[in-house]
Amino acid sequence: MAGVITVAVVDDDRMLLDGMRSWLGRVPELRLVATAATVGELLATVTPADAPAPPDIVLLDLMLRDDSAPADNIRRLLAAGSRVLVISTVPDRTRVIESLRAGADGYLTKDNDLPTLVAAIKEVVAGHGAHSPELAFACAHDDSPSRPRLSPREREILLDYASGLTLKSAARRAGITVHTAKDYLDRVKAKYQQAGRPAYTKIDLARRVREDSLDAG
């Protein structure tokens, strides 16, 4: 089935899993391929050599009863080849940020409706990340030392450059010289270096944009 997005769900709430099967079964472009109560259980079924390709995306409950660390769960799923959309009962600001820093592509609370979930899944699989009100709020109020404070112009140049534009094109779009644009970009890199999250390449910068959801607003 070309174009169908494969989905797995990791959650230890059996009622939620049953609900997900019913929900996702209504969406032709999505196919639920696995459910599990823990990440270990899921990986045991989707990563053996003779198993099919890992799911395109895993919907991961933030807090599981096995007391596994959310960041570790996210990293394990990413290493297995799936993108991760975190789902949680509460929009805990600290946990939202920690999830993004660990590599999750988005964070949704469980009170969202099916169209919102489907839209988020599609955005994540397309590589854009899922922007939600709870994620935007968390990022807007993130005052941790690891999140650099960027000026509006620094953010503008960073977003344009990290999105794929050349520095010359980013400068032209901003109406400034290439030399000035480079100064702004150098300041951004210096700030991330000081925050303990160095970004040496365009790929690094794009990752920081996604981790900090700088393109969410």
Instruction: Please check whether residue 145 lies inside any domain of the structure.
Output: no
Rounded Cα–Cα distance for residues 209 and 214 (Å): 5
Examine the domain organization and report whether 49 and 125 are in the same domain: yes
| Residue bearing the bigger pLDDT, 98 or 64 | 64
Q: What's the number of CA atoms in the CB half-sphere (13 Å) around residue 212?
A: 26
Number of compact structural domains in the chain: 2
Burial class (CB in 10 A: 0-12, 13-18, 19+), 213: buried
Indicate which CATH number applies to the domain containing 158: 1.10.10.10
Return the pLDDT at 83.
93
Phi, psi angles (nearest 5°) of residue 56: -60, -35
Rounded average pLDDT over 4-13: 92
Radius of gyration of the chain (CA): 19
Instruction: Please check whether residue 146 lies inside any domain of the structure.
Output: no
Q: What is the pTM of this model?
A: 0.66
Instruction: Please check whether residue 216 lies inside any domain of the structure.
Output: no
Return the pLDDT at 42.
92
Range of the domain at 170: 152-211
Return the pLDDT at 30.
93
Confidence of residue 1 (pLDDT cuts 50, 70, 90): very low
Examine the domain organization and report whether 9 and 56 are in the same domain: yes
The label of the residue with tokens 């839209």 reads 119
Examine the domain organization and report whether 66 and 110 are in the same domain: yes
